[in-house]
Structure 1
Amino acid sequence: MDIALKYCHITVNDLDESLPFYCDALGLEVRNDVAAGGFRWVTLGSPTHPDPEFVLSAPHAGRSQADGDTLQELLTKGVLPMIVFSTDDLDATFEQVRVSGAEVLQEPIDQPWGPRDCAFRDPSGNMVRLQQAAKA
């Protein structure tokens, strides 16, 4: 059996506000932009990797009012799970995201468990970490 991650969902307040962060700053590309039931989902992917795709959606998209309200509360508090992307050049990626105006949470550092990493907040408050594998 071969199994792999296909989609990773990222909840955001405003898709149009979030797209410059994920596309321009991180370099992802829009794969699909789908409207359904008064909401919209946008799937993004790396130009060099077919999978996984990242699905941006608002808290209430495809959810009950109560579930959407709960998700909105968690997003507002900034307690949704972090997103971790890998890169082959952390310092260059950090600089590209930093100059985009994203909130820097942690500048690049070498972690004692191996990778070099940094952290930002996306426009909705999600923590986004970038990491580069330790050099052998």
Structure 2
Amino acid sequence: MSISLQYCHITVNELDESLAFYRDALGLEARNDVASGGFRWVTLGTASQPDLEIVLSEPHAGRSQADGDALQELLTKGVLPMIVFRTDDLDATFEKVRASGAEVLQEPIDQPWGPRDCAFRDPSGNMVRISQAPKA
């Protein structure tokens, strides 16, 4: 028996603005854009992980009004869980994302626990960390 991660959800305020960030600034490829019930779900991925997709959706997409409201409040506060990406060239990735106008939370630094990383906020306020494994 094997198990693997298939989808990871990121809640966003505005799909097109967030799609531009994840596609254009981070370089993910858009795979699906599905409309249902007045909302859209957009999936993105990378060639290096073809079976894993990130799903972008708005707080009320597929949720009750109360649950959507609660999720919107957490998103507004900027306290939803972060997402962490890995790259083989942190400095180049950092410059590309910074050039997109994303809010920089942390410039690239070597962390005491090993990786070199940086952090941004996506257009909805989610923390996005980008990590590079330590050089051997």
Amino acid at match of 2:74: L
Distance 1:35 1:71 in 2: 20
Distance 1:128 1:52 in 2: 17
**Residue 52 (structure 1) shift:** 1.4
Which residue number in structure 1 is paired with residue 44 of structure 2?
44
Aligned residue for 1:85, secondary structure, equals strand
Which residue number in structure 2 is paired with residue 60 of structure 1?
60
Work out the percentage of aligned pairs sharing the same amino acid.
84
Distance 1:5 1:123 in 2: 25
Distance 1:103 1:47 in 2: 26
Amino acid at match of 1:81: P
Cα deviation code 1:75-126 (max 9, x no counterpart)? 0000000000000000000000000000000000000000000000000000
Which residue number in structure 2 is paired with residue 86 of structure 1?
86
What TM-score do the two structures reach when normalised by structure 2? 0.98
Note the aligned Cα RMSD (angstroms).
Answer: 0.6
Which residue number in structure 1 is paired with residue 9 of structure 2?
9
Ranges in structure 1 where 5+ consecutive residues have no aligned partner? none
Which residue number in structure 2 is paired with residue 27 of structure 1?
27
Distance 2:31 2:134 in 1: 31
Ranges in structure 2 where 5+ consecutive residues have no aligned partner? none
Distance 2:15 2:126 in 1: 13
Cα deviation code 1:42-86 (max 9, x no counterpart)? 000013320310000000000000000000000000000000000
Aligned residue for 1:96, secondary structure, equals helix
2:108 is aligned with 1:112: no
Report the count of equivalent residues: 136
Q: Could you list the runs of 4 or more consecutive aligned residues of structure 1 that deviate by over 3 angstroms after TM superposition?
A: none
Distance 2:27 2:70 in 1: 30
Distance 2:117 2:93 in 1: 11
